[in-house]
Amino acid sequence: MATLARWEPFRELASIQNEMSRLLNAFEGNGQTTQNWVPALDVWETDDELVYAFDLPGVPKENVTIEYDDGMLTLSAKRERTFEKGDDRFYRFERRFGTFTRSIGLPQGVNEGSIRADFKDGVLEVHVAKPEEVKPRRIEIGGESQPTIEGSATASA
């Protein structure tokens, strides 16, 4: 029995675009290859916070920098290539190395004190406490403190 699969041209187009982007980002202007990489990111929400989890295998904690400026969270890290001398012959290098920087916009109202980070087993989790919702406030029009202008009408002949 044959299984039919629905053809989704937009999914295939997105896949081709991702592969072309990966290919074109691997070369500098002079034809030399670069090893830029961007780690995978998961984002989820709990009742109290937003959590951003970055996969950083092989990156020591000392090579990770997190900055917060004007509503933007910027993560930078560096993974170095390691060479072990021996009689092994390498035929393919696919693991990326080098530096990367990634910026993420945070919700309005977040302050620096509400951000904390944990690094465990190659996964960096940045926890951002949700800001309090701005509650509308009632503004009185006029009121007792405003002076009242009084006048009198006179009949004119």
CATH number at residue 84: 2.60.40.790
Rounded to a whole number of angstroms, the distance between the first and last alpha carbons of the chain is 106
Q: Is residue 17 part of a domain?
A: no
Residue 150 falls within a domain, yes or no?
A: no
Domain-embedded: residue 18: no
The answer, yes or no, to whether residue 35 has pLDDT greater than 50, is no
Over range 29-41, report the average pLDDT: 62
Number of domains in the chain: 1
User: Quick check: 56 and 120 in contact, CB under 8 A?
Assistant: no
In a domain, 51, yes or no: yes
Assigned domain for 108 exists: yes
Residue 109 belongs to domain spanning = 37-129
Model pLDDT, residue 85: 61
**99: closest CA among 76, 115, 116?**
76
Taking only the tens place, the pLDDT of each residue in 103-152 is 888 888 888 889 999 999 989 999 999 888 777 888 888 766 655 566 67
Lowest mean pLDDT among 29-33, 79-83, 97-101, 132-136: 29-33
Residue 61 domain-assigned (yes or no): yes
- pLDDT tens digits, one per residue of 53-95: 999 888 889 999 999 998 899 999 888 876 666 667 766 666 6
Query: 1-10, 23-32, 36-45, 110-119: lowest mean pLDDT where?
Result: 23-32
